[in-house]
Structure 1
Amino acid sequence: MSQHATEETVADLWAECPEEARQAAERVVGSPANWQLMRRGSHGTAKWHVSGPGTQQVVVKAGTGQAADVVAREITALAYMQAAGITATGYGNDAQGLTGLTSDYTAWLVRPWLTGLTTWSAFQAVRDGHHPDVTDYKRALTAAVDLCTAVGGLHQHGWVHGDLQPHHSVHMANTRTVQLLGCTWAWAPELAPSPAYTGGLVHLLSPELAAAAESPTRPVITSKSADVYALAASLWWSATGDWPLNYRAAAIDPTAHTAAGLRRMIAARRLKISTTSTWPQLTELLREVLTADAVQRPTAFQLAQSLRRLM
């Protein structure tokens, strides 16, 4: 466990990790196992990085009660995508389980620990601004192209991710493949959207998805076009370290508003796209995507091709 977790937190979180999940993880990593609490998820899920004397490491995610619904939805989405042959979400064999039959049931998921840079990390040298060189820009652009290509492949199979973020995409070491994490809200014709979905990280939401999330209609149905907006917003954030939405110009402190309040502002188009001096070639290309109407946005594959031209 993380040394930063309090004893009370550790006890509470251990209670949410079923014995079956602990055993499944430790069968892979060996014993004694080191359990490091990574974070408490926004929907109440708990997540651990587990290592041991073996060569493999895993991630364990668990949730109890309402949080179990979130983990169970991810289990279902991953199973459907694996059956569809989607490689961008098909990393490794996994163990997963659903226990209990009441409102207190627990769901758990064990997945391989992935080795590689996230998109966010691939942009670090550019974002930090400490005299990045040609290699730094090439690394960032390659990551951007590969991420867009992975999302394009997902879309080609008829799936929408629904919560793309630069911290949730891992660029596998020594390959040009990307694994997309955070697939809880993914949907396709064979798996209906979740009624609990509200659009993902609010700062990366397209105006039309923000409007759908704030409407009374459920489920909220996102689209491939909204995924492309989130792609462009994620790359902007990765390159600049700031949200693409210009909260400052609108005299808005985003931390002082609820997600629902920010979604209403985005839906009403009260927030313009920021201006920046960081990497003008890239940010101007992304601005075109972020300001386009949904029907005029490029596909993920088209965005990848536009990014290649900057290399």
Structure 2
Amino acid sequence: MQRLHRDDVSYGDWEHGTWNVQPWHQGESLYDLWQPHRSDEASSSPDLGEALSCAEAVAVLHATGWAHGDIQPAHLIVSSEGTALIDLALAHGGDIPTAYDFAYRGCLVHYESPEISRSVLETGTATPTMAADVYALGATLFISATGLRHVAYPDDASRKDQRRAIVEGPHRPVDVPGVLGKLIDAMLSPEPSHRPTSAEVCGELRSAC
């Protein structure tokens, strides 16, 4: 068995293929944490500090030169100690041995950016980017706050149809109140260059907290 380490992630191969092991983090997913804000009787808006902690977790990864490639509510674990961004299996950025550098074929489609969905539809693969991560974070904040996917399509739609809906757009109107809603709307821009960076998202949220 071969074993390699990258910071706190271990990975290697064995007779049945490859494996990777990542730390376990206690806490709640962002979606579960914000459940009270999605009820008809909700009396408060999502906490900007919790949104900031999620954005900071993404920004910390981006500062190292890596894109996550699979940001979704279940991968943002919030606790009293902060927010952990988990599941780095699809991360892209640094040098990866060829044996472990698999083609990226998209992620959970509900959070894919239009450019990722378009590339997967056209070529079968895509390249994770920080701009696509920001879009995914916006979609994550939106569904966690509202319970709605950022783009409407039937629950039983195929992945291909889901991706077509994301490419063709537009996304649902962002009715999250205040600064958070304005940020989510900017993060969901179909044009990658028009989205704020993760660091800029952090800056806006810090100013508003």
TM-score of the two chains, using structure 1 as the length reference? 0.59
Partner of 1:99: 14
| Mapped partners of 1:256, 1:117: distance in 2 | 27
Secondary structure in 2 matching 1:171: strand
Q: How does 1:196-235 map to 2 (within 5 A)?
A: 196-216=103-123, 218=125, 220-235=126-141
Cα contact 1:122–1:143 (8 A) shared by 2: no
Larger Rg: 1
2:160 to 260, 269, 282: 260
**1:187-228 CA distance string (max 9 Å, x none):** 11413794442221112111111111122275x212110000
- 1:113 aligned residue: 24
Aligned residue pairs total 207
Query: C-alpha separation between the residues in 2 aligned to 1:120 and 1:280?
Result: 19
Whether 1:183 and 2:88 are equivalent positions in the alignment is yes
Give the secondary-structure state (helix, strand or coil) at the position aligned to 1:199: coil
Helix, strand or coil at the partner of 1:291: coil
Q: SS in structure 1 opposite 2:77?
A: strand
- Selected match of 1:242 from 142, 148, 154: 148
RMSD: 2.9
Choose the corresponding residue for 2:70, options 144, 154, 163.
163
Q: 1:99 to 1:146 in 2, by over 3 A?
A: same
CA contact (8 A) 2:117 2:164 kept: yes
Cα distance in 1 for partners of 2:146, 2:103 equals 31
Measured in 1, the distance between the counterparts of 2:165 and 2:199 equals: 30
In 2, are the aligned partners of 1:162 and 1:186 still within 8 Å (CA)? yes
Q: How far did 1:165 drift?
A: 0.6
Is 1:286 the equivalent of 2:193?
Answer: no
Number of the residue aligned with 1:297: 195
One-letter identity of the residue aligned with 2:95:
E
Question: Which residue does 1:141 correspond to in 2?
Answer: 48
**Farther-moved stretch of structure 1 (288-297 vs 162-171):** 288-297
Q: Is the 8 A contact 1:185 1:194 kept in 2?
A: no
Q: Measured at CA, do residues 308 and 179 of structure 1 come closer, stay the same or move farther in structure 2, by a change above 3 Å?
A: same
Q: Which amino acid aligns with 1:305?
A: G
CA–CA separation in structure 2 for the residues paired with 1:301 and 1:155: 9
SS at match of 2:145: helix
C-alpha separation between the residues in 1 aligned to 2:43 and 2:28? 17
For structure 2, list consecutive stretches of 5 or more residues without a partner in the other structure. none
- State the distance in 1 between where 2:109 and 2:185 align: 18
How far does residue 167 in structure 1 lie from its aligned partner after superposition? 1.0
Q: After superposition, what is the alpha-carbon deviation per residue over 1:76-98, rounded to whole angstroms, capped at 9, x for unaligned?
A: 7xx33x1xxxxxxx3xxx77664
Unaligned runs of 5+ in 1: 1-71, 83-89
Residues 196/128 of structure 1: CA separation in 2 closer, same or farther (3 Å cut) = farther
- Identity over aligned pairs, percent: 27
TM-score with structure 2 setting the length: 0.84
Aligned to 1:57: none
